[in-house]
Amino acid sequence: MEQPTIVPTADSSAHESALVAAFEARIAAGESIEPKDWMPERYRKQLIRMMSQHAHSEVVGMLPEGNFITRAPSLRRKMSLIAKVQDEAGHGLYIYCGTETLGVDRHELIEQLLDGRAKYSSIFNYPTLSWADMGVIGWLVDGAAIVNQTILAKTSYGPYARAMVRICKEENFHKRQGYEICATLARGTPAQREMLQDAVNRFWWPALMMFGPSDTDSPNSAELLKWRVKRKTNDELRQRFVNLTVPQAIAIGITLPDPELRFDEATGNWVFGEIDWTEFFQVIGGEGPCNRERLAARRAAHEDGAWVREAAAAHAAKQRTSGTQAA
Amino acid sequence: MSTTDATNVPYTSDTHADGLAVTGQTQWPLWEVFTQAGKGAPHEHAGSVHATDAEHAMQNARDVYCRRGEAVSLWVVPASAIVASVPGDAGPFFDPGNDKAYRHPHFYKVPLGVRVF
């Protein structure tokens, strides 16, 4: 059967551009966009993409550290690590909840993660080999996340911004506990110092890659900046992170694996060497050292938790039935 | 699969109080969470959780939104029970309260030099 073709009339496209103009004027005036407000379909799509990737990163981020809970060297470290991993679960939930306000089903997002369609932060596809990695993840990975998220707390979409404010408050604990581990190992035995230096050598470049491709090579940046979803470019945020982190490395006597790293008096920036973008795109594309392992662990956790979900649903159904009978 | 299967308890689709319908029947109902930061403070919207029933929603809300003493009291409300104003109508809807300067103290003139407050 032939379908009638719907041709946009001059009226409807004029209406649409008026709506876009009003939307962009609100953004320019610094207003925040709320779920029921009219928004361009591209804005909604970009936010769903960005927020769900962010939520997935929080969830997958539990895996490398979860591995070390049973191997923490003291009860104090173990308590902190459990609390940190629990926070990451909470952060995932805050952002999934924010993403749902855009009209998407959390279940659908989780399906996309489990079947490998969704992306998450490339950093979690690197293995965690020693206890020092726990310190370095807190210091560098959470440190990088804080730089990113502090700016996202001012993003134009209200629910995302509010989730970020909540997350930023909690992330600071993550970074400090990581840096404390690093500072302790740095003051420790030669073997401990060596373990720390090895972890820094492995995580430094992947941490810089967390900010995403360079501005000249980032397909989404211009649009996201125009709509104030992002407030700073990937390169600006990366530079800010390097400037914050280098003095922290110097303070604990650790070297960063970049022979080109130098302080530039004129700009006040720490200038760093070229990032290996081939590696970045390989890891993003699923060919990192741990992509398969992470997804397999996530799937197993989801399947192993099925009985809990079933029991909760059965309990609720039973309560409803007994409630009806009593009434 | 029978509809009484515990993993497939049917319920109507939910709407975030301030958002769009969450489509499908693939997950537990949605509850909006309100926390009171201290005695005497108002309850404020913190976010939402999915849960099978009120008790379960209360526990999830505590675990997700109260890990650091953020609350002394917690409300969970089925998201579908919340009626929210519509942004498109916000202008005329709130208009009656927007043009009445005489409801504010600075509308009134007082003799110079007198401390009124």
pLDDT tens-digit map of A231-273 = 999 999 999 999 999 999 999 999 999 999 999 999 999 999 9
Give the mean pLDDT of A310-327.
78
Partners of residue B44 on adjacent β-strands: B35
Query: What pLDDT shows up at residue A9?
Result: 58
β B73-78/B43-50 pair status? unpaired
Q: Name, in order, each residue with C-beta under 8 angstroms of A326's C-beta and a sequence gap of 6 or more.
A: none
CA distance A165 to A61: 19
- Domains of chain B from N-terminus onward: 1-84 (3.10.20.520)
pLDDT tens-digit map of B9-66 = 333 445 566 555 444 446 789 999 999 999 999 999 999 999 999 999 999 999 999 9
Contact B19 A170 (CB under 8 A): no
Element (H, E) at B78: strand B73-78
Residue A306 Cα, gap to closest chain B Cα (Å): 8
Contact B6 A103 (CB under 8 A): no
- For testing contact with chain A, the best of B5, B14, B26 (most A CBs within 10 A): B26
Give the mean pLDDT of A286-299.
92
- Token pair for A86: 């629990």
pLDDT tens-digit map of A216-228 = 877 778 889 999 9
Confidence check: pLDDT of B3 > 50:
no
Q: Residue B69: its chain A contacts at CB < 8 A?
A: none
DSSP per-residue string spanning A98-136:
HHHTTT--HHHHHHHHHTT-S---GGGGS---SHHHHHH
pLDDT tens-digit map of A126-151 = 999 999 999 999 999 999 999 999 99
The reply to whether A37 touches chain B by the CB within 8 Å rule is yes
Tell me if residue B40 falls in helix, strand or coil: coil
Closest residue, chain A, to B67 (C-alpha): A87
Q: Could you tell me the pTM of the whole model? A: 0.87
Average model confidence (pLDDT) across chain A: 92
Closest residue, chain B, to A312 (C-alpha): B52
pLDDT tens-digit map of A154-169 = 999 999 999 999 999 8
Closest residue, chain A, to B32 (C-alpha): A97
Distances (CA, A) of A178 to A183, A203, A247: 9, 13, 16
